Amino acid sequence: MGSKLDQAASSIVLQPDFDPAPRTLRIHRCGYVSKCKKTRCRERATMIAEKVDGAGRHVRQIELCTRHGDVVIARGLEISDRRAAVASDG
């Protein structure tokens, strides 16, 4: 006996997105000793590229040298460069 609007509302099921597409790339200065994670690269990592979703939640991160970090930055995601902010904080 419900209206069509009630029936339509009850048939809508929201599906959670457990693997959100990263939208922003945060760049941090690497404050610990780590090797660049690019295959066969022997350079020391100088930055951390952290992918975050639309809500600002961490999705994944990778430690990279300057050369490979610049390649990732050039891919066109929205960039939030935190290297200078971290250096001036402490």
What are the domain boundaries of the chain? 22-89
Higher pLDDT, 57 or 11: 57
47 alpha carbon, distance to own chain's centre: 14
- The residues near 27 (Cβ < 8 Å, ≥ 6 apart) are 47, 48, 49, 50, 69, 73, 79, 80, 81, 82, 83
> Is a pLDDT exceeding 90 seen at residue 41?
yes
pTM: 0.63
Note the pLDDT tens digit of each residue in 3-27: 665 555 556 666 666 666 667 888 9
Choose between 84 and 86: higher pLDDT: 84
